[in-house]
A and B are shown apart, each in its own frame.
Chain A
Amino acid sequence: MLRIGLTAATRTRTSSGGWSTTRRADAHCRLPLSLRASSLSSLSPPLSYCPSTGTVSADGVPAFMTVVGIEIHAQLSVQTKLLSAARAAAPVGLGGANTRVSALDAAYPGSLPVLSSSACRAAVLSAAALGCRVASISRFERKHYFYADMPAGYQVTQQRWPLAVAGGVRCRDLYWKHRAAAVEKSKRKRKGKGGKETVPLAGPGAKFFEVGVTRVQLEQDSGKTMTTIPGVSLVDLDRAGRALVEVVMEPHVRTAHQAASTVEAVRAILAAIGTCDGRMEDGALRCDLNVSVAPIGEEGGCSEEGPFTSSLPPGVGHRVEVKNLNSLRQVIAATEYEVLRQARDALEGTPTSQETRTFDVVTGATRRLRGKEGAADYRFMPEPDLPPLVLDEQSLGVTLENLIASMPELPHQAEKRLVREYEIEVDAAVQMSSDRDAMELFEGAVREALREAPELGRKNAASSAANFVINDLVALSRASHDLREGPDDGRVDTPIGARQLGVLVAMVRGGELSTGMARKILGSLHGETLGPDVGPRKAADTMGLRIISGVEELRGLCAETVAHKKHAKQLVQYAEGGRAASRAEKYFMGKVMSASRGNAHPERAAEVLRETLDELTIGG
């Protein structure tokens, strides 16, 4: 029995009964496993996967390439469900199960569907943002299967006449972003700066690739089943009937990281236009992978040309569907595992059969769920209770063209605009353009900073604001959500508002605060330790943070310190001059700083201190 172990961590029981997770020595960072060339050697020849090219080599010779087709289901952020008026999402603070279920959602006899126009609009925008051609007429169908979370016994979807076809997405390859991170991190470690985690900026060597979109269709979500009580399945229909778009991508992905990058690119696009605010971790953005391997250099194998080349190559076993992936990191791990497993099977002469497998987080492996024989016949039937979906002025309120033209800014457009309007670094623009919250916060903060201090200038305000957002707010957000996984975790999630950040920028630029002080204040505002919605000035006062640069105040401080009985000896040393004097000066500086609780402006205080000391020693 071949055991393929790609785990980066093992969990063991501690003596107190809890769990402790130990990471392997070379997995010191939160980067995915693939940065080490994973090796598989139970039988010869040893197989290894190269994460940058997606190539599986047997005994060092490239043998197979990776081919992945991705299917993404994204929950649309609209008020009601696709076919009923029940609320799509629970209002904040209201939980429970089966609280937003209409008669239709529970498939009570006599209930009929009514299509939500906002769901249609959101789906159209999503498809257009993914570069697709939107069909002015599409149709709904029923996909039949029996399961407790699907009350009607069928799901309403669009199989043969989907909403949109033939699009494409340009994705930034996360592998290179994280290669830069790994290099950065090891540099820091060597310099002894410790493992402070900053999300690396996409530097030179950032690579892009394109993935085609086969189709985008509207469909219903199912409910949820839970088996918290043994022997009993609990059914929650709150989610049943929610509007989803299914995005099916062409099998153009060639590495595990590209697979994760594609999912992230789609997420960012849908978040940017506001049609899907969800992420993999909340189950609002789900993806299934269709993984297969193709021989390199053999007749009939895939060529390495470009994105829009062939579909699945023949003769190497079938593509395997992998389900149950809940984060980008899992996407990478599952793909790598599958590719190695399929390569192994192909080399041993038992190419993998068409099957569905589930990913197991704990072992990092995939497990067979069902084979081809277990695949259901869904008995697709045109939905008789819904008319064809005609997208025109009457149904949408505007013409299809106008609706598409009204689409909010896409990430790559935002990137260009931020650089142009704010003159910030490209890397900063890249990072913020894929995080709508960060971008809104940044632009708002610049506005507020200029309101607070108009003489500041846009470029200066923008530069400070961008730094705070990308460096500090991202780190603070991550720290308070340490459950989140994923290579591209730079998302901002903070209660800090644009006004607070803007005022802080103005204070720092105006010399009222040092950057270090601002960081402390940000920390307390983020954690709301002083209460919600506290202004930075109030926070600075409460925390005693304020650069003291006023001459009078500094004089007072220095005079007090210097004249103190305890420091009489150092005063004498200063009077002597020479090396003793400079040591004494440093000593006094330290005392002044601590007397001011670190708030004294270093350069000014040094000047004033010297003056004070000279007065005392030379004068007296």
Chain B
Amino acid sequence: GLPSPSPPVVRASLAAYYVLACAEAASNLARYDGVRYGAAGGGGYAAHRTDGFGPEVVRRVLAGNAVLSAGLFHERYEAAAKIRGALRAQFRELFREVDLVLVPTALLPPHLVDGGGPGATEVLGRDILTVPMSLAGLPTVSVPVPVEARIEGEDDAWRESGAETCGMQVVGPGLCDDLVLDAAEVLEKFIASRRE
């Protein structure tokens, strides 16, 4: 078979991604203090940042600062960085054998915006198929492809959602954005022609 990234690493990449992304977000958002821009009225750092950031941002900043804190840095940030390193190495191995990889964008159909949907953490969990490529820094384009819910039981969720398309990611090696965009266009045209 092909040296595809191993499942344990792929599974771990979701957590690794959020650790690293939140850490970077907390760091990059530190500049929003209301001193040079974005402030209306008085108030100090805490006031500006509490009012100025939405709930998701606040969540990520707090999580990011936590994983960067002295006590947790080694087990969280460093561990996540190691997983990213492993994932990148494995993808490099894979791209020695193939030019492109196709990966579905989502395992589950889209959920309703309001009412009865998954909780905040579960929503993050649905990124499992997009996160590995982000973490590995690989150019990826998601192309809508028609979905057919054929199998009884397994595909119930898809059938019930009424979704007609789902995304298919075209993934290429690092810095090969042109290749990926061209391939995505080919796939798009193919889908369109098959519809007719």
A9 contacts the other chain (Cβ, under 8 Å)?
Answer: no
A148 within 8 A of B: yes
- Interface contact A153-B33, CB-CB below 8 Å: yes
- Measured between beta carbons, the chain B residues less than 8 angstroms from A384 are 24
For the A-B complex, the count of residue pairs with Cβ-Cβ distances under 8 Å equals 43
* Complex Cα–Cα for A106 and B32 (A): 11
Beta-carbon contact of A154 and B30 below 8 Å:
yes
B residues less than 8 Å from A146 (CB atoms): 30, 33, 45
The interface on chain B, measured as residues whose beta carbon lies within 8 A of the other chain's beta carbons, has a size of 17
Measured between beta carbons, the chain B residues less than 8 angstroms from A381 are: 23-24, 27, 68, 77
A486 within 8 A of B: no
A382 to B68, CA, bound (A): 10
> Is A379 positioned at the interface, with any CB of B under 8 Å from its CB?
yes
Inside 8 A of A396's CB, which chain B residues have their CB?
none
Report how far A154 CA is from B24 CA in the complex, Å: 12
CB-CB under 8 A for A144 and B23, given A377-B70, A379-B70: no
The reply to whether B31 and A107 contact each other, CB–CB distance below 8 Å, is: yes
Q: How far is the CA of A146 from the CA of B44 in the complex (A)?
A: 11
Q: Are B36 and A106 in touch, CB under 8 angstroms? A: yes
User: Does A109 belong to the interface (CB within 8 Å)?
Assistant: yes
Query: Which one of A109, A153, A235, A377 contacts B69 once the chains associate, using CB atoms below 8 Å?
Result: A377
Q: Say yes or no for A152: interface residue by CB 8 A criterion.
A: yes
Measured in the bound complex, the distance between the Cα atoms of B38 and A151 in whole Å is: 13
B45 CB contacts on chain A under 8 angstroms? 146
Give Cα distance in the complex from A377 to B31, angstroms: 17
Closest to A237 in B: B36
Instruction: Render B8-50 as a binary contact track against A, CB cut-off 8 A, 1 for contact.
Output: 0000000000000001100100110101110000000100000
Chain A residues, CB < 8 A from B73: 379-380
B65 at the binding interface (Cβ < 8 Å): yes
B24 closest partner in A (C-beta):
A384
A142 on interface, CB distance cutoff 8 Å: yes
A235 contacts across to B, CB distance below 8 A: 35
Question: A144 with B69: in contact, given A108-B37, A235-B35, A381-B77 (CB under 8 Å)?
Answer: no
**Nearest-Cβ distance from residue B79 to partner chain A, whole angstroms:** 14
CA distance A106 to B31 in the complex (A): 9
In the bound complex, residues from chain A placing their C-beta under 8 Å from that of B65 are 379
Chain B, residue nearest A377 (CB): B70
User: In the complex, A384 Cα to B21 Cα: how many Å?
Assistant: 11
Chain B residue numbers with a CB within 8 Å of A152 are 30-31
A276 CB to nearest B CB, Å? 29
- Please state if A379 and B35 are interface contacts (CB–CB under 8 Å): no
Contact between chains at A109 and B68 (CB < 8 Å) = no
The 9 closest A-B CB pairs, nearest first, are A153-B30, A379-B68, A107-B31, A152-B31, A377-B70, A153-B31, A381-B68, A377-B69, A381-B27
Chain B contacts to A: CB under 8 angstroms: 23-24, 27, 30-31, 33, 35-37, 45, 65, 68-70, 73, 77, 81
Known: A146-B33, A151-B31, A152-B30. 13 other contacts (CB 8 A): A107-B31, A108-B36, A108-B37, A144-B27, A144-B30, A148-B35, A151-B36, A152-B31, A154-B27, A154-B30, A379-B65, A379-B68, A379-B69
